[in-house]
Amino acid sequence: MEINLSGGLNLDEYLMKSTEEQRKAQEQIYEGIQLTQAATDCIRQIEEPVNVMVFSEGYCPDCIAVLPFIKKLSEENDNIIVKVFPREGNKEKLEELVGTARIPTILSFSKEMEPKGAYIEFPKALIEKMARLNVEEQKRVVNEYREGKYNSYIEKALIDILV
Protein backbone atom coordinates (compact mmCIF):
# COMPACT_ATOMS: atom_id res chain seq x y z
CA MET A 1 0.00 0.00 0.00
CA GLU A 2 1.35 3.39 -0.95
CA ILE A 3 1.37 5.92 1.89
CA ASN A 4 0.35 9.41 0.86
CA LEU A 5 0.49 12.25 3.37
CA SER A 6 -0.66 14.97 0.97
CA GLY A 7 -4.28 14.93 2.18
CA GLY A 8 -3.40 15.40 5.83
CA LEU A 9 -3.63 18.55 7.92
CA ASN A 10 -0.78 20.03 9.89
CA LEU A 11 -1.35 20.19 13.64
CA ASP A 12 -2.54 23.80 13.65
CA GLU A 13 -5.02 23.14 10.84
CA TYR A 14 -6.30 20.08 12.72
CA LEU A 15 -6.80 22.12 15.89
CA MET A 16 -8.71 24.78 13.97
CA LYS A 17 -11.18 22.12 12.79
CA SER A 18 -11.82 21.06 16.40
CA THR A 19 -14.50 22.65 18.55
CA GLU A 20 -13.47 25.45 20.88
CA GLU A 21 -13.86 23.10 23.85
CA GLN A 22 -11.67 20.43 22.22
CA ARG A 23 -9.07 23.05 21.29
CA LYS A 24 -8.97 24.40 24.83
CA ALA A 25 -8.57 20.90 26.28
CA GLN A 26 -5.61 20.21 23.97
CA GLU A 27 -4.06 23.61 24.65
CA GLN A 28 -4.33 23.03 28.40
CA ILE A 29 -2.56 19.68 28.09
CA TYR A 30 0.04 21.21 25.77
CA GLU A 31 0.82 23.97 28.29
CA GLY A 32 1.32 21.38 31.03
CA ILE A 33 3.76 19.19 29.11
CA GLN A 34 7.35 19.32 30.27
CA LEU A 35 9.44 17.07 28.05
CA THR A 36 12.27 15.31 29.79
CA GLN A 37 15.78 16.39 28.84
CA ALA A 38 16.41 12.87 27.50
CA ALA A 39 13.39 13.13 25.19
CA THR A 40 14.41 16.58 23.99
CA ASP A 41 17.96 15.38 23.34
CA CYS A 42 16.72 12.34 21.36
CA ILE A 43 14.38 14.41 19.23
CA ARG A 44 16.96 17.10 18.50
CA GLN A 45 19.36 14.43 17.22
CA ILE A 46 17.02 13.33 14.41
CA GLU A 47 18.89 14.32 11.25
CA GLU A 48 16.66 12.82 8.54
CA PRO A 49 13.00 13.63 7.96
CA VAL A 50 10.51 11.49 9.88
CA ASN A 51 7.03 11.49 8.38
CA VAL A 52 4.28 11.08 10.96
CA MET A 53 0.76 10.07 9.99
CA VAL A 54 -1.81 10.63 12.74
CA PHE A 55 -5.39 9.38 12.70
CA SER A 56 -7.48 11.30 15.19
CA GLU A 57 -10.83 12.87 16.00
CA GLY A 58 -11.27 16.00 18.08
CA TYR A 59 -13.86 14.41 20.37
CA CYS A 60 -11.64 11.47 21.37
CA PRO A 61 -10.25 11.89 24.92
CA ASP A 62 -7.26 9.67 24.11
CA CYS A 63 -6.42 11.82 21.07
CA ILE A 64 -6.75 14.93 23.23
CA ALA A 65 -4.23 13.38 25.64
CA VAL A 66 -1.65 12.48 22.96
CA LEU A 67 -1.72 15.08 20.18
CA PRO A 68 -0.27 17.87 22.35
CA PHE A 69 2.79 15.62 22.86
CA ILE A 70 3.18 15.23 19.09
CA LYS A 71 3.01 18.99 18.72
CA LYS A 72 5.57 19.57 21.50
CA LEU A 73 7.98 16.97 20.06
CA SER A 74 7.63 18.23 16.49
CA GLU A 75 8.45 21.76 17.65
CA GLU A 76 11.83 20.47 18.87
CA ASN A 77 12.88 19.35 15.38
CA ASP A 78 11.72 20.51 11.93
CA ASN A 79 12.59 17.06 10.58
CA ILE A 80 9.41 15.72 12.21
CA ILE A 81 6.69 16.24 9.62
CA VAL A 82 3.21 15.60 11.01
CA LYS A 83 0.02 15.14 9.01
CA VAL A 84 -3.30 14.48 10.71
CA PHE A 85 -6.18 12.58 9.12
CA PRO A 86 -9.67 12.08 10.51
CA ARG A 87 -10.63 8.51 11.27
CA GLU A 88 -14.04 9.19 9.76
CA GLY A 89 -13.70 8.59 6.05
CA ASN A 90 -10.40 6.75 6.55
CA LYS A 91 -11.45 3.67 8.57
CA GLU A 92 -10.72 1.22 5.75
CA LYS A 93 -7.31 2.78 5.13
CA LEU A 94 -6.51 2.68 8.84
CA GLU A 95 -7.60 -0.95 9.14
CA GLU A 96 -5.51 -1.83 6.11
CA LEU A 97 -2.47 -0.11 7.62
CA VAL A 98 -2.64 -1.50 11.17
CA GLY A 99 -5.50 -3.99 11.36
CA THR A 100 -7.77 -1.83 13.51
CA ALA A 101 -9.46 1.58 13.42
CA ARG A 102 -8.58 2.65 16.98
CA ILE A 103 -7.55 6.23 17.61
CA PRO A 104 -5.23 7.82 18.10
CA THR A 105 -3.11 5.86 15.68
CA ILE A 106 0.28 7.40 15.02
CA LEU A 107 2.50 5.91 12.33
CA SER A 108 6.03 7.02 11.63
CA PHE A 109 7.96 6.59 8.41
CA SER A 110 11.47 7.32 7.19
CA LYS A 111 11.98 9.96 4.51
CA GLU A 112 11.64 7.09 1.97
CA MET A 113 8.28 6.22 3.61
CA GLU A 114 9.57 2.98 5.12
CA PRO A 115 7.65 2.15 8.33
CA LYS A 116 9.45 3.04 11.56
CA GLY A 117 6.85 2.47 14.26
CA ALA A 118 3.25 2.64 15.40
CA TYR A 119 1.38 3.95 18.44
CA ILE A 120 -2.17 2.62 18.56
CA GLU A 121 -4.64 4.06 21.09
CA PHE A 122 -2.44 3.74 24.19
CA PRO A 123 1.28 3.39 24.94
CA LYS A 124 2.37 -0.26 24.96
CA ALA A 125 3.51 0.06 28.59
CA LEU A 126 0.00 1.13 29.60
CA ILE A 127 -1.59 -1.73 27.65
CA GLU A 128 0.73 -4.16 29.44
CA LYS A 129 -0.17 -2.62 32.80
CA MET A 130 -3.90 -2.88 32.10
CA ALA A 131 -3.65 -6.50 30.92
CA ARG A 132 -3.24 -7.60 34.54
CA LEU A 133 -6.22 -5.62 35.80
CA ASN A 134 -9.93 -6.29 36.02
CA VAL A 135 -12.37 -4.14 34.04
CA GLU A 136 -13.02 -1.62 36.83
CA GLU A 137 -9.30 -1.16 37.47
CA GLN A 138 -8.72 -0.75 33.73
CA LYS A 139 -11.33 2.04 33.61
CA ARG A 140 -9.59 3.77 36.53
CA VAL A 141 -6.20 3.56 34.80
CA VAL A 142 -7.64 4.91 31.53
CA ASN A 143 -9.13 7.86 33.41
CA GLU A 144 -5.80 8.49 35.15
CA TYR A 145 -4.07 8.29 31.76
CA ARG A 146 -6.44 10.91 30.34
CA GLU A 147 -5.73 13.12 33.37
CA GLY A 148 -1.97 13.00 32.73
CA LYS A 149 -0.78 10.44 35.28
CA TYR A 150 0.96 8.36 32.60
CA ASN A 151 2.44 11.17 30.50
CA SER A 152 5.88 9.57 30.83
CA TYR A 153 4.47 6.50 29.02
CA ILE A 154 3.21 8.70 26.17
CA GLU A 155 6.53 10.50 25.86
CA LYS A 156 8.53 7.26 25.77
CA ALA A 157 6.20 5.55 23.29
CA LEU A 158 6.36 8.49 20.91
CA ILE A 159 10.13 8.77 21.18
CA ASP A 160 10.37 5.04 20.41
CA ILE A 161 8.50 5.43 17.10
CA LEU A 162 10.25 8.66 16.07
CA VAL A 163 13.93 7.90 16.57
pLDDT per residue as tens digits for the range 89-147: 999 999 999 999 999 999 999 999 999 999 999 999 999 999 999 999 999 999 999 99
Query: Mean pLDDT throughout 56-80?
Result: 97
Least confident residue range of 2-6, 59-63, 103-107, 118-122: 2-6
Residue 1: pLDDT above 80? Answer: no
Fold of 11-123+151-162: Glutaredoxin (3.40.30)
The answer, yes or no, to whether residue 14 has pLDDT greater than 90, is: yes
Confidence of residue 2 (pLDDT cuts 50, 70, 90): confident
Grade residue 3 by pLDDT with cuts at 50, 70 and 90: confident
User: How far apart are alpha carbons 142 and 126 in whole angstroms?
Assistant: 9
pLDDT at 42 over 90: yes
Q: Where are the domains of the chain?
A: 11-123+151-162
Residue-level pLDDT at 72: 97
